[in-house]
Amino acid sequence: MKKTPVFAAIVASSTALAAFAHGGATGIVKERMDAMADMGKAVKAVTPMMRGEAAYDVDVIRQAAATFSRHAGDSMTQLFPEGSGGAPSEAKETVWSQWEEFSDMAERLGVLADGLAGAADNGLMAASDDGSSPGAMMGGDASMMGNSAMMGGGAMMGGGMMTAEQIAGMPADGAFTMVTQVCSACHTKFRAESQ
C-alpha cells in the first residue's frame, strides 16, 4: 500500500526538528519552532488512525484540530516578525517577500482546523465494520482526496475555498488530508530544507 507522501514529509520534519533541538534557537525563532513541533506531534498522533494502523479516536482528532487551530492565523503570523530570518531559523525570505500568501495559508490552516474538529465525529470514509480504516482514501492515485484539483492548490488555495462548515461535513480523513496538504504547501514554499 502506498503511503501518503504528505504525512511522511510532515512526520519526518517534526522528527528532525526534535532531533536537532531547534539548533540553538532562542526567542521568537524558538517559539515558532516549538509551535511547528507541536503541530508535527499532532500529525504524528493522527496519521496511524488515517492509515488504519490504529483505532480511530475522536478525542485525539479533536485535540489535533485544537493544536492546529491554536497555531493558525494571527498566532502563526505573529511568530514571523520582519527580520527574524537567518540561522538557526528555517524560514525562507519568501515568508516576508510574499507575506500575503504566507498569511493566507496561516488563515487557511485555521479554517481547515475548525473543519477537522467538526469532521471528527464523521469517522473515516473507508472505515470497515470495526471502525478502522484500510487507509484507501489516503494513498494511491485513485484516492478521493489525494490528487484532486481541490487539494492541489486550485480551490483550496485560491477562489472558491471550502468553508469550515463544508469541511466539517466530510469524513475526518478527508479533512485531515486538507490540513496536512496546507502544511506541506507552506513548508515547500516558505521553509528551507534542514541541513
Return the C-alpha torsion angle 127, 108, 73, 93, nearest 10. 120
> Which of residues 136 and 167 earns the better pLDDT score?
167
4-8, 41-45, 58-62: least confidently modelled range = 4-8
Q: What CA–CA distance (Å, rounded) separates 44 from 41? A: 5
Three-class SS state of 91 = strand
**Contact at 8 Å (CB) between 162 and 115?**
yes
Position 164 confidence tier, pLDDT thresholds 50, 70, 90: very high
DSSP single-letter state for residue 137:
G
pLDDT at 8 over 90: no
pLDDT at position 110 over 90: yes
